[in-house]
């Protein structure tokens, strides 16, 4: 599936990038990642809301997952805290649940910020018949700044989506993801707090898990692209032995390998999002490929960024190490690369059968 961005998509992408860079530039990124620093991105969120970003991806806006992902990509590029990424996942959860789209429209109309649990484990939290939640929601990014927390839960009737006010919640720092200091990763203990609960069909839950993986791909892709751009720029500016370090073959090889990895990740991510929007039969397969490829590219390119910058890459003078931190956390969210490769293998017979026209039960296992 060939994906070519429209002029409108390109213009919106540029507008969002400009809004983020003006309010959350490199100096602010480094400052916000310091221990104990204030990570309030209210000013950025207000600018994005004025553009209409929170509504992107909803059926009423005439946009889909690809359009939403392009916004998340710009947030990843700017190392933005997780408000936009969490809002995107919350949106997909509410759109997938029975009768919950109204909650999303209500939140958008009231300018309320959404957060979501990237733990994506419905069994971790239960909802009783009265809508009271019990359990622990993990991997919540920027929950302390959000107005509503959206998460998958297990109700009496099966899987469901719960929407709870964040006011009564006590968010605790999530030590499992503290490596990414650019985001406020927390866990929330839900001891009987009331929530609005909407049923989530098993197939809809599986689709949301796939969409979550693709959204993370966009976040990682944006970060990887920024790592590569910064590394190339530095290699042109930094001089050693009378020439720019980019002229040395070893540095060239590092940058070329990173460029190929990022290019592959971009192709896989855009294809997966377009396939999901189109309802293609190989959409899940494409999403598994994208997550595995993009995670590897993100980790590789972040490491390259540090290496090209030399000792400076480990310091607070440049954000290279912050991209590396995020790459290691992102690869553990919504399924690891190994888990996605295993899932991809499970889809392979059917996908090959469709592509070749041969029924999948006649394709040899080996």
Q: Is the Cβ–Cβ distance between 137 and 152 less than 8 Å?
A: no
Residue 187 DSSP label: E
pLDDT in tens, 154-166: 999 999 999 999 9
Parts of the chain with a pLDDT under 50: none
Look at residue 363 in the predicted model and tell me its pLDDT: 54
Give the pLDDT score at 365: 56
- Does CATH place domain 203-362 in 3.90.79.10? no
75, two tokens: 């947030």
Domains 7-200 and 203-362 share a fold: no
Give the residue from 204, 210, 269 showing the smallest Cα distance to 66: 269
pTM across the whole model:
0.94
Cβ within 8 Å of residue 201, ≥6 positions away: 98, 159
Cα atoms in the Cβ-side hemisphere of radius 13 Å centred on 257 = 15
Give me the percent of the chain exceeding a pLDDT of 70: 97
**What gap in Å lies between CA 227 and CA 244, rounded to an integer?**
19
For the domain spanning 7-200, the CATH number is 2.40.110.10
DSSP 319: S
The domain locations on the chain are 7-200, 203-362
pLDDT at 366: 54
Q: Please report the pLDDT score of residue 361 as a whole number.
A: 56
pLDDT score recorded for residue 350: 87
Tokens of 94: 């509410």
């Amino acid at each position: 599936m060939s994906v070519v961005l429209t002029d409108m998509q390109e213009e919106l992408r540029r507008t969002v990038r400009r809004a983020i860079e003006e309010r959350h530039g490199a100096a602010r990124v480094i400052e916000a990642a310091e221990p104990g620093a204030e990570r309030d991105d209210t000013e950025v969120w207000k600018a994005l809301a004025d553009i209409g970003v929170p509504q992107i991806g909803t059926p009423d806006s005439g946009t889909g997952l690809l359009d939403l992902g392009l916004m998340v990509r710009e947030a990843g590029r700017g190392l933005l805290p997780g408000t936009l990424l969490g809002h995107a996942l919350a949106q997909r959860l509410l759109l997938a649940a029975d009768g919950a789209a109204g909650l999303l429209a209500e939140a958008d109309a009231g300018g309320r910020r959404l957060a979501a649990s990237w733990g994506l484990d419905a069994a971790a939290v239960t909802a009783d018949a009265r809508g009271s939640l019990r359990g622990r929601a993990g991997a919540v990014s920027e929950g302390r700044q959000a107005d509503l927390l959206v998460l998958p839960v297990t109700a009496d009737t099966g899987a469901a989506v719960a929407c709870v006010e964040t006011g009564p919640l006590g968010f605790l720092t999530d030590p499992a993801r503290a490596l990414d200091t650019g985001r406020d990763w927390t866990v929330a203990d839900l001891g009987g707090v009331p929530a609005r609960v909407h049923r989530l069909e098993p197939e809809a839950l599986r689709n949301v898990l796939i969409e979550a993986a693709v959204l993370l791909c966009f976040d990682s892709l944006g970060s990887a692209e920024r790592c590569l751009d910064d590394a190339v720029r530095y290699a042109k500016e930094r001089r050693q032995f009378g020439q720019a370090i980019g002229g040395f073959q070893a540095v060239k090889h590092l940058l070329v390998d990173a460029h190929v990895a990022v290019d592959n990740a971009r192709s896989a991510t855009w294809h997966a999002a377009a396939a999901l929007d189109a309802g293609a039969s190989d959409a899940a397969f494409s999403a598994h490929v994208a997550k595995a490829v993009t995670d590897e590219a993100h980790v590789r390119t972040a490491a390259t960024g540090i290496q090209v910058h030399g000792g400076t890459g480990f310091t607070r003078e440049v954000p290279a190490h912050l991209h590396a931190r995020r790459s290691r956390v992102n690869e553990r969210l919504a399924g690891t690369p190994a888990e996605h490769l295993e899932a991809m293998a499970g889809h392979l017979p059917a996908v090959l059968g469709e592509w070749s026209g041969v029924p999948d039960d006649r394709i040899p296992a080996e």
